[in-house]
Amino acid sequence: MEQINRVGTPRALEIKDDVYRLVIRLDAVPTQGWLNAFKSAKPVAGALQPAAVSIDKTELFFHSEERAIPEWIAHIGVWMAAANATLVEEDKAMNAWRAAEEAHRQETQRRLAEMNEKLKDL
């Protein structure tokens, strides 16, 4: 599982009616699982919601008035960390499930071999 991190500083791309369109570059293209975790991350505050952020490949876009930009960037950092943490937990759970499945498979094979050994003399 690859964590997604910010690269460099945010950049303003456009301004219209005192609302800026900004971009934050990411170090990798997020997976669908990461995107889902990001979009459902907390906390949210009024207009500051992950659903208002759009992501295209390695770029994250949002709109904000100048006064709210620092708050947006802080929230985006929290949401990214939450998405990364969610995927780490999901990865751990998947690894535990795989390990349990493998242990079950090995135990089944051991028992079958043991039974087949007993059946040799019959």
- Higher pLDDT, residue 101 or 88: 101
DSSP 29: P
Contact 60, 23 (CB under 8 A): yes
Over the stretch 5-64, which tens digit does the pLDDT of each residue have?
999 999 999 999 999 999 999 999 999 989 999 999 988 888 899 999 999 999 999 999
pLDDT score at 57: 95
* Per-residue confidence band for 88, with pLDDT thresholds at 50, 70 and 90: confident
Is the backbone of residue 42 left (phi > 0), alpha (psi -120 to 50) or beta?
beta
3-state secondary structure of 22: strand
Residue 17, classified by CB atoms within 10 Å of its CB into exposed (0-12), middle (13-18) or buried (19+), is: exposed
Residue 86 in this model has a pLDDT that exceeds 90: no
Over the stretch 44-55, which tens digit does the pLDDT of each residue have?
888 899 999 999
Torsion of CA 74, 80, 82, 86, to 10 degrees: 180
Contact 109, 116 (CB under 8 A): no
